[in-house]
Amino acid sequence: MKKRVYGVIGIKSIMSNWNADFSGYPKSISTGEIFGSDKALKYPMKRMWLDQGEKILYIKSLKMAEDKKGKKELRPKSLEERYEEIFSVPKLKDEDKKEVVQNLFTALDVKNFGATFAEEGNNISITGTVQIGQGFNKYDKTSVEEQQILSPFRVENEEIKRKNKRNKEEGKEMEEANASTLGTKIVSSEAHYFYPFVINPTSYNDYIKLGVTEGYTEEDYKKFKEAALVSATAFNTNSKIGCENELSIFIETESDLYLPDITQYIEFEKGGEKDIIRFSKELIDLIDKLSDKIINTEVYYNSLKIHIDKNFPKAKYYNIFTREEL
């Protein structure tokens, strides 16, 4: 593939938590603006590809292992173990470094997003041809909601555990917990995240010369494009059940055209029956002036809930779910 691709992926989150920080609250910067990291978007993409039978290296997988007392427990696999599993390699340490790089390029997540492969004797860094930025929430009335959840089981709290430890030492009667525990689920009332991305196939030119990959192909792009349209919608975990793909823009250009981050020229506004997504006049004028170097532009969106003025130069518009042209 010779062309570059610039675009946007929009994610809607209704009473869900698209990307939580370690406190459980939606991620935000110092000014309070809510955002989603690129990792939050890449994970459902990788999960979707994995479910379709693709080789995916950088995803959590588990194994049964024994602890020091010989008891079985679940543990995450190491990078080395994951590599040996998906590439059917007896020992990574016995692999030729060229073979390692060739194998890495057959994993679809590595082909798209690159890899940092830091294993003994094989310290490899691959800059991915697909680069995804941070996705900022453009809905200014987002609020954070806390829901208390009652557990169906009785669990001893730390205070009772300490008392029972003393009671056991002193030979006294043990105390039982009489109440179920409470948990908390934290969600955003409503948020609309917009991620910028760029696809630059020339980043693999050196690896093509080394003969370890054929480069980024149209088939690779097709698989990324499909994940950019539906992977968030398909990824229905408890905290992501209200998250959906609502917008995807693909601007295919000649290899020597360079465009800025498209998301900074997008505005979101709550409407009546439908929400409104607008492209700024500055962006429309820029794209119009560069139209001779733009090969194709496609805009996919949820036309049931979103209104878009069809003023993008030479663009085709599609329903993001049915793929019907609008």
- How is the chain split into domains, by residue range? 4-56+79-142+185-319, 147-184
Q: With the CA atoms of 159, 165, 170 and 172 taken in that order, what torsion angle do they form, in degrees rounded to the nearest 10?
A: 70
pLDDT tens digits for the chain (326 residues)? Answer: 999 999 999 999 999 999 999 888 999 999 999 999 999 999 999 999 999 999 999 999 888 887 777 788 888 889 999 999 999 988 888 888 899 999 999 999 999 999 998 887 788 999 999 999 999 999 999 999 988 777 676 655 666 666 666 666 666 665 565 555 667 888 999 999 999 999 999 999 999 999 999 999 999 999 999 999 999 998 876 557 889 999 999 999 999 999 999 999 999 999 889 999 999 999 999 999 999 999 999 999 999 999 999 998 889 999 999 999 99
Residue 161 to residue 183: CA distance in whole angstroms: 19
pLDDT at 160: 61
pLDDT at 65: 80
Of the candidates 79, 99, 112, 314, the one whose C-alpha atom is nearest the C-alpha of residue 203 is 112
> Residue 299: which H helix or E strand, with range?
strand 294-301
pLDDT at 63: 84
Of the candidates 185, 182, 184, 177, the one whose C-alpha atom is nearest the C-alpha of residue 151 is 182
Residue 89 to residue 80: CA distance in whole angstroms: 10
Q: With the CA atoms of 150, 152, 158 and 159 taken in that order, what torsion angle do they form, in degrees rounded to the nearest 10?
A: 80
Name the pTM for this structure.
0.88
Residue 6 to residue 297: CA distance in whole angstroms: 10
Instruction: Decide: helix, strand or coil at residue 244.
Output: strand
Q: Where would I find the H helices in 88-148?
A: 97-104, 108-113
Of the candidates 317, 313, 295, the one whose C-alpha atom is nearest the C-alpha of residue 1 is 295
pLDDT at 94: 80
Residue 196 to residue 10: CA distance in whole angstroms: 9
Q: How many C-beta neighbours within 10 Å does residue 71 have? A: 8
pLDDT at 237: 67
